[in-house]
A = this chain, B = another copy of it.
């Protein structure tokens, strides 16, 4: 498996062990991870720190030239908010672990020129299926439903 997707999955599992929603993300610049994170809804009571947002936050303030050369990896198809952050910072490429359990705003990303690669990795799917079946109310809250 791609080592960066593997690290995103590690983040998702870390979140799950903390009792959180198992979605992880890493941001990669020139072959190095500059930010990594996982969903913090349960752990921090955060409604903005989805996995991708947490990775952005942990990457910290970066110049536009860095963002524009990054690839973002996420274990799950990015929702509207995370897709919007990807567009705001001009991330040109997104690798998505899976979009079977949730289909985010991939069409918007593509329509604005972002390269979107969907892997449909079994570990990513299993993590979400098992979480959604155990905690449907938390998952619905996380996607505003």
Q: What is A's interface to B at a CB cutoff of 8 Å? A: 41, 45-49, 53, 56-57, 59-64, 67, 79-85, 87-90, 105, 108, 140-141, 143-145
Whether B61 pairs with A45 at a CB distance below 8 angstroms is yes
Q: How far is the CA of A67 from the CA of B83 in the complex (A)?
A: 20
Closest 9 CB pairs of A and B: A84-B84, A80-B87, A80-B84, A81-B84, A81-B85, A89-B144, A81-B88, A80-B88, A88-B144
Contact A144/B79 with A45-B60, A61-B45 known, Cβ cut-off 8 Å: no
Say how many copies of this protein the assembly contains. 2
CB distance from A93 to the nearest CB of B (A): 15
Whether B64 pairs with A144 at a CB distance below 8 angstroms is yes
CB distance from A116 to the nearest CB of B (A): 15
Q: Which of A56, A57, A88, A108 has the most C-beta atoms of chain B within 10 angstroms of its own C-beta?
A: A88
Whether B63 pairs with A141 at a CB distance below 8 angstroms is yes
Contacts of A140 in B (CB 8 A): 64
12 pairs, CB–CB < 8 Å, chain A vs chain B:
A41-B61, A45-B60, A47-B56, A47-B57, A47-B59, A47-B62, A48-B49, A48-B57, A81-B84, A81-B88, A88-B144, A90-B144
Whether A57 pairs with B64 at a CB distance below 8 angstroms is no
Whether B80 pairs with A85 at a CB distance below 8 angstroms is yes
